[in-house]
Structures are given as structure tokens and as C-alpha cells.
A and B are shown apart, each in its own frame.
Chain A
Amino acid sequence: MANDARTNVSKDLSQERQKRMIAEHFSKLARAPDEGRACAYTFVPGNLTELLNSFDVLPVLPEINALQSGMRGKSRDYIGLAEKLGHSEDVCTYVKCDLGMLKSGNIGPTGERLPDPNLLLLSYTGCFTFLKWFEILGQEYDCPVVMLHVPYQGDGKITNSMRKYVVDQLRNKVIPQLEEISGQPYDEDRLKEMLARSAQAEDDLVYVLESAKNKPSPIDAYFGGVYYIGPIFTAFRGTQDAVEYYRELRAEVEERVKLGKGPITPEGEMEEEKYRVVVEGPPNWTSFRQFWKMFSDEGAVVVASSYTKVGGVYDDGFRHDPSRPLESLADYCMGCYTNLNLPSRVDMLVRYVEDYQADGFLINSVKSCNSFSAGQLMILREVENRTGRPGGFVESDLVDPRYFSASNIKNRLESYFQMIDQKRERGRKSGQGD
């Protein structure tokens, strides 16, 4: 998912595998036009990777390209170019970054040109901007756009009517379109095999994420977490590679738990876990390493995060289910984090603070993303009230470096960690008094 910021440590097997998987995927994409292989652009939340793969259609995820551009220092120029072309400074920078990249030759993160899409699969899940993004791309490419409208969980639940609506669209719009662009008929058995592999990998991913309940936590579930979710959130869910990646990752994490080790950070292994926090909101990508370091330098570990649930929530028990292939794809889409209503998001975060024994809760509010950000200040107060643990709030952006003020964020984080200290101190004193 992200370029690797964990540079000072020897690479784990899983890490090597992920690199290889990504490199191979991009090289397949580069060869796709020559080999006559179809590709579909689509989004991370509500992605239909198994379905695409079952037609041998290659997924391209513009959000991932945008975040990669952010990490590689390209996003400033891309965003600038899009704004010059008339896109407002107010809107999501992923869109502008993607457009800027497209207008600059569509060179992907590995330096190879990305193929034009044969299909824009508009999985409209949890974010209004997606709809506009692919309307915009629809004007740039001569290819069909297929809309998969994924209803929002306004009442905090998935109803039969919602499920039926999504399944009907899959059956009557998405699948016929994939048959058309791939020249292959829908093969449900193949899809089922892939879904079974998805579930296997999802089990291991959940183990990894929940390993952070240990003290010390063997992982950082936000900065480290974005690497762990990479394969399953993108082009690899349902592949054997993903199964193996998660098996290896799990074994590595099990080993760390056994040895009582903390997480790996940009500076190597964390020696002492001083603060355990839950984080809501996406990270900043342009200063990812620096942002992470602001936590790790203080001995702060993120033990759970909502961002690692944008491409699927699995720690509530959901698994892709080969016995009900399209229904489970529908449930997957509707269950992604930003498709949950605010009370459900609060419930999840409260549960994280409690289950992961966090000292506090922190929001990184990104300017780009109304889907995440609108309502976060209320979330902050609710989680604080319900858990009694301190909440913190910092602001940045995803890929627009103009909105990452390092000194400001650092100050806020430092005061936040001091607040946790004070609270502990008070707790200790009142404990002594008892």
C-alpha cells in the first residue's frame, strides 16, 4: 500500500513478499495493453478484487497511486496542475493528485506508465467524492463506467433491501460489463475459490491487528498497519500470494509476541512503550515518516486505528463467504468503515480504546476528506465522554504538503502526551489515597 518507511531494519519475509507482489502487479499492468489484458480502475472501499480477478481483469486503484505520489514527493506538482486546470482548492486532493498524474503521463509508482482503463468500476462506497471522481475520469477516457451504488448504513445496519440492491447491481450491471471487457463468462466457482482464500487471509490479518492487545504491542496498528492492510485492501485479496503474505506476517508477529518485542518504527525497534493510543482518520502521506517519528520518539504506539478498516472491517467477525459469493461481496462493501454511520463509528472506537487498553484517543483530521472528517469533533467528545480517556486532535491533509505543519502537529502531540501523563499521575495519586 505504501512505500516503505521502515528503512533501518532488516526486512522481514512478509515485507519482501509484499514488495515483490506490488512490483509484479505494476509490471503486469505495464504489459497489459500489449498482452490484450483488460484493466479496471476502481476504489479501495468496496473494491471487488476477487470478482475482477475471477475475470482476469487487473485492478488499478487511483487512491493508492495518489498516496504513492504523496510519498514520492510528486503530489504537490500534480495537485498544482489540477488546480491550474480549474479544480478547486477546496476539494479532495486525491482526486487532484490523480488528475495531475494523468495529465503528466500517468506514470505509476514504479516508473512505468499505467494502462488506460477498459472500465471505470465506480464502486460508490462510503464516499461521495468517488462519484464525481469517476465522472471526471469518464470524460478523460473512452471506456464504459459502471456504477455500483452501495447504500450507506444510515441506521447502523444492513437490511435485506440494501443487500438485494447491491447484489442485483452486481448481477445485472457489473458482471455483464466484466464479461464484456474480458471476453470471459462469469465463473462463480472460480470466484468462490478466491473468496475462500480471502477469508483465510482475513483470519490472519485479524490476528495481526488484534496482536496489539498485547503489552507491549508487537505492531503499530496505524503507521505499521498501513503496510499490513496493503495486499488485502488492493489488488491481492483472494490470491494465493495474499494468503501466504498474511501467513508469514502472522508468524512474524507471533514471534514478536513470544519475545515480548515492541513494534518496528522508522528508527528500528521501539524500546519502551510509553503510550498506547487509538487513532481515527487517514494518515498524512507527504510527511508520513516524520509524522510516525513524532509518535515513536515519544514512545507512543498506535494500538488500533479506523483507517485500517476503510477497505474492510474484519475484526467484527465478517469474512468473505464462498457459500454466498455475491451476498458476501455486498456485505463487505456495505461494511467498510466510512460506510458506517457515526454512532457505529463511535461504538467501534470506544470498543478499541477499551479492548486495547489505550491511554487515549487521537484524531488526525484530514482536510480532503469530508467522509471521514465531518463529525469528527463530535466523535472526539463522545469517545472521551464514554471512555473517560483523553482525546487529541491534529489536522493535516492526505497528499497536499501545504497542509502539513510539522511544528504545529508536533506541539499538539507533545501536549497531548503530557495530558496523558498528568491523567496517569492523578490516577496514581487518587489510587494511593484509597
Chain B
Amino acid sequence: MEERMSTSASCLEGHAALVAEAEALWKDYSLTSVREWKKESGGIAIGYMPVYVPRELLWAQNALPVGILGGGDDLEIIRGDAYYQSYICHIPRSTIELGLNGSLDCLDGVLFPATCDVIRNLSGMWKMQFPDKLVRYLDVPQDFDPAMGGAFYRHELQEITESLPGIGGRSYDEDALRTAIQVYNESRQAVADLYDLRRREPWKIPTHELYVLLRAGMVLPPEEHTTMLRAYETAVSDDESRRPMDQARVLITGSFCEQPPLGLIKTLERAGCYIVDDDFVQVHRWIVGDIPVDGDPLGNLVTAYLENSIESPIRYIDDGVKGQGLVERVEHYGAEGVLFCAPSFCDPALLDQPMAVKAVEDAGIPWTAFKYSENSGQFQVIREQAGTFADSIKLWSGE
């Protein structure tokens, strides 16, 4: 697998080729690269739905974590619509479609984290539809006391580790988990560095490119993905042809599960926005910073979840102040405005939004809001809205 990557990497010329490769990996819904990896490595592949699962745990047992983020705007929904009413978001119907059309056959199991009731219920549907596969609902704690939520979560993780050998994964091994944590620390750092570079020089990293690279991480083994990200970072840093433009710096929030179509991201950029922070493909950034490698590795995963997760609509706020994390991100990333950009019918995002809007308004930050579906094809209205928003920000900051 290393060989495949290095061979292809040596053929790559600059960021355009990297982005093209990443896009090809993402758009290959039949998961050819995952099938090849399985054949070469003898490992298993475990899918996971948004937003967060501890991928380290899987990787440590020779299970390739494969992110399932729906079928976007590429997939024709033939049977998926017969599974969902019109008032339910789009991602579960494209996910079912991918399951039914055989695209996900190479997955030995799927994890459904406790993101919302739709994903929760999809776990049961998957159990009924694919009775021969490993299907697990991963209940993440909403109590953050190590002795209560922590103990419960640890048990959940242990159950996952115990379920993998039965389907071809390796047995749980502490050292292997330490190594996997290190591998994902490097992956997180590579992602964080790109976000940081985009923060400083957003003209160097258009979000429609960054996004595609993040998507490649849904199917690539983590080391290969990190290599890809680093190569891209070098390539764009060296590209002097990318010069600043007069764009408004915006932060996007609400798109943590069902993903916006790439066309929407491009539309926002063309409408005059530099996206300087977002919550796309958020599994890469759910844990902030490194997870310690020393000591009890399972305990370290638990602590990281309890203490170092980002603020999210799907995570109970507990003692925190609602929206504060968002406002801090706006400041850190130097955003001049916020785009609330949620999928239609997304309960967590839309129920959260009024509270987040209040926090943003209280902090005097301009904002606007719109909804999308992963298969939206028309962006004219959003383009006008975002264009007006960007113009007003520029006008305002120019005053």
C-alpha cells in the first residue's frame, strides 16, 4: 500500500494533480482503493458515519476506517427514497442507496455514532438489511465526568475492540493502539497545519481543494493521507502564482454531517468569500491537539473525547457557554462573518442555530444563513446571498 502511494505520489505534479487524485479517491463510491488495501494488507475495513469515531481503535487492529459521508450530488437515488420520508435529510437515503447497490460490500462492518436520531435509527436499519455484517451503534457520553461518562465510554470502546477479531481484525494490543494514536496525531497535525495556513493565507488554499483532500482521508490509510496533505502543503506554499484577492473572510458552520456539494463551496468562493474555518469532514478535527501516547492508551482516547473535543451541536454544552466556542473560532481564524450553512431537516444543526446566532450577534459578528442538501444542484440564490453578504462585510470592514 505504501508502494502504491509512493508510486502514484512520484507521478504527481503539484497541487492540481494531488487534488485530482484526492477527488478520484473520493468519487470512487465503489471503494476500489479500500478493496485493494484489503487485498494487499489482509486487513478488514470498517465504515463509520459522521461525525466522530475514534479511528485509532480500528487502525490498531488492522481495520481501515472508512468514512461514509453520503453520496453527494453524484449518486442517483433509485431505492433510497423508498426508505425515507421527504422531511428527512438526504444523507441516510444516499447511504442506504450505497449499501443496496453494493458499493459498500467491501466493508466488514459499520459504526453508527450517536450523532442524531436519524443515524441512530439507521444503525437498526443496517442491522436488518445487512445481518451478516458487524453493525454497532457507538453511544458517546453526554456526561463528561471520567467516573461516569468516561467509564461508560471506555466500556463502549472495549466492546468495539472485542468485536473486531471475530470478523478478521487483529486482537486488541496496547502498543498497537499507541502506534495508531501517534499515526492519527500526525494526521490531525497535518490537517491543523493546512487550516492554519489557510487562516494566514487563504488565497493559497482554496477550500474547494482542501475539502477534496479531506475527503480522500475517508478512504486512504492514515499515513498515506498525511503524506498527501503534506505534499499538498508544500506545493501550495511554493506556488507564488496564488495571490491575495479582495474577498471577505467567513467561517462556515452547520455542515458537520451531511456534506455540502462541492459546487456549493465553489459558489461561495466565487461569490467573494474566503472560507477561513469550517466544520466539513469534521472527524479530522473533532479532537483538538495530540492524544498522549504514553500510559493507558484506551484511557487516553476516553480522556481526549471528554476533555479535548470541539464544541458541537451534537455534544451537550454542560457547564460551557453556548456559542462561545464558535465566537472564539471566529476570533482565532480572523473571520469577518459567519455563514450558517446546515443541511435541510438537520435537527442538531438547526435546533442549535438560534443559540449560536445569539452568541454571534452578541459578539457583534455579522452572519447569514441558508440550507442545502448534499445533492443540491442550483446555487443561484445562495450565490446572490453570499455575494451580498461578502460585499457588505467588505464595505463594513472598509469603513
- Enumerate chain A interface residues (CB-CB to B < 8 A): 85-88, 90-92, 95, 122, 124, 127-129, 131-133, 135-136, 138-139, 147, 149, 151-152, 154-155, 159, 161-162, 164-165, 168-169, 172-173, 341-346, 365, 367, 370-371, 373-378, 382, 395
Contact = CB atoms under 8 A, between A and B. Distances in A.
A209 B120 CA distance: 29
B118 interface: yes
A147 B316 contact: yes
Interface in B128-183: 128-129, 136-139, 141-143, 145, 147-149, 151-152, 155-156
Given A341-B123, A375-B124, A87 B143 contact: no
A178 to B, nearest CB: 17
Contacts of A122: 316
B355 interface: yes
A342 B87 contact: no
Contacts of A164: 151-152
Nearest to B359: A139
Contact of B125 (A344, A365, A373, A378): A378
Q: Which 4 pairs, one residue from A and one from B, show the smallest C-beta to C-beta distance?
A: A342-B124, A154-B137, A132-B351, A165-B152
Q: Is the interface of A mostly helix, strand, loop or mixed?
A: helix
Nearest to A133: B351
Which of A87, A124, A152 has most chain B Cβ within 10 Å? A152
Contact of B85 (A91, A151, A373): A373
B142 A91 contact: no
A217 to B, nearest CB: 29
A341 B122 CA distance: 9
B322 interface: yes
8 contacts: A136-B351, A161-B155, A342-B125, A367-B85, A375-B83, A375-B125, A377-B83, A378-B128
Contacts of A155: 136-137
Contacts of B354: 85-87, 136
B128 A382 contact: yes
Which of B82, B121, B128, B313 has most chain A Cβ within 10 Å? B121
Nearest to B353: A88
Given A91-B351, A132-B347, A139-B355, A149 B143 contact: yes
A92 B347 contact: yes
A211 to B, nearest CB: 30
Contact of B147 (A129, A152, A168): A168
B148 A374 contact: no
A210 B66 CA distance: 47
Interface in B85-134: 85, 87-88, 92, 112, 114, 116-118, 120-125, 127-129
Contacts of A346: 128
B353 A86 contact: yes
Given A131-B316, A154-B136, A165-B152, A341 B347 contact: no
B114 to A, nearest CB: 7
B347 A151 contact: no
Contacts of A370: 88, 116-118, 121, 347
A256 B149 CA distance: 49
A305 to B, nearest CB: 19
B348 interface: yes
Given A168-B148, A375-B121, A343 B128 contact: yes
Give the interface size bracket for B toward A: 35 or more
A259 B84 CA distance: 44
Given A88-B351, A165-B152, A342-B124, 7 more contacts: A86-B353, A135-B355, A147-B143, A154-B136, A155-B137, A162-B152, A342-B128
A240 to B, nearest CB: 34
Contacts of A129: 117, 347, 351
B317 A135 contact: yes
B128 A374 contact: no
Contact of A132 (B83, B352, B371): B352
A56 B160 CA distance: 42
Contacts of B129: 378
A135 B92 contact: no
B128 A90 contact: no
A149 B149 contact: yes
Contacts of A365: 85
Contacts of B117: 127-129, 370-371, 374
B92 A374 contact: yes
B38 to A, nearest CB: 26
B345 interface: yes
B127 A165 contact: no
B143 A95 contact: no
A128 B127 contact: no
Interface in B281-313: 313
Contacts of A139: 322, 355, 358
A346 B137 CA distance: 17
B143 A169 contact: yes
Nearest to B317: A135
B345 to A, nearest CB: 5
Contact of A374 (B88, B141, B147, B352): B88
Contacts of A135: 316-317, 322, 352, 355
A173 B143 contact: yes
A376 B118 CA distance: 11
B118 A374 contact: yes
A85 B354 CA distance: 8
Contacts of B352: 132, 135
A152 B351 contact: no
Given A91-B350, A172-B148, A342-B125, A149 B313 contact: no
Contact of A90 (B147, B156, B345): B345
Contacts of B87: 90, 367, 373
B357 interface: yes
A135 B352 CA distance: 9
Which of B139, B141, B348, B351 has most chain A Cβ within 10 Å? B351
B399 interface: no
A376 B142 contact: no
Given A139-B358, A342-B128, A374 B348 contact: no
A377 B123 contact: no
B128 A151 contact: no
A88 B369 CA distance: 11
B149 A165 contact: yes
B13 interface: no
B344 interface: yes
B128 A124 contact: no
B112 to A, nearest CB: 8
B2 interface: no
A428 to B, nearest CB: 31
Contacts of A367: 85, 87
Contacts of A162: 152
A149 B347 contact: no
Given A132-B352, A165-B152, A343-B124, A395 B143 contact: no
Interface string B323-355: 000000000000000000000111110111111
Nearest to A168: B148
B318 interface: yes
B83 to A, nearest CB: 5
A85 B357 CA distance: 11
A347 B145 CA distance: 35
B353 to A, nearest CB: 7
Contacts of B127: 341-343
Contact of A128 (B116, B122, B145): B116
Contacts of B139: 151-152, 154
A374 B96 CA distance: 12
A131 B84 CA distance: 24
